[in-house]
Amino acid sequence: MKPDKKVPLFLYALISAGFYITAFNYAEYFWILSLFSISLLFFICEKLKSLKEAFWYGLLFGTTTFAGILIWFWKTFPLDWVGIDNVALSLILIFVFWIVASVTLGLFFGVWLALYKKYSSTNNYNFLLAPTLWVICEFARALFFSIVVLGQESVIAPFWTFGFLGYSLSWSTLFIFFASLHVVYLLSF
């Protein structure tokens, strides 16, 4: 079934981001992950023509996804608890950090989509390629974000795992068992 050609491509990325955000924030809607996977893979395989296009749509998907997952940044308002009493400055600082974090973390979805587009083929191994690249990009994302937020007494390491796909499976004791063997990366695979 082909999608309606009148639907703009960016809507597929935004709808897929909505599936991811919902699955991440509400564990009881784990089944939405299958919709997310199907819609995003359809979007990748059928619609995108170039690596550049794949990167930009992946970045749109990732930035939207993290903007939804990191919406809790706004709960820190007002910033008087850190000594910033100016309301306008508080709003600007929260907005800037929210956007920078969302784009920085979303960048790796663009990398993943471009790599998948580049290396996928018509053989039967794409079912391994997609999750392998996904886990590599999740690891790189956590490592890169630790550099972006590097400060006094922090370390450069892949410990900023917030938003990992595997966390949406944490409601299951079976999945938690597998996560204890290979951390959250196994659940993301």
DSSP structure class, residue 157: S
d(CA 67, CA 73): 9
pLDDT of residue 92: 93
Q: How confident is the model at residue 19 (pLDDT cuts 50, 70, 90)?
A: confident
Q: Are 57 and 48 in contact (CB under 8 A)?
A: yes
Please state the pTM of the whole predicted model. 0.78
pLDDT band at residue 31 under the 50/70/90 scheme: low
**Residue-wise pLDDT tens digits, 108-129:** 989 988 888 888 876 677 778 8
* pLDDT value at 80 more than 70: yes
* Alpha-carbon span 133 to 151, nearest angstrom: 29
Tell me how far apart the alpha carbons of residues 57 and 44 are, in angstroms, rounded to a whole number: 9
Which residue in this structure is represented by tokens 């996560």?
179
* pLDDT of res. 67: 94
Quote the mean pLDDT of the chain. Answer: 78
pLDDT in tens, 39-52: 666 666 667 888 89
The tokens for 137 are 């990009």
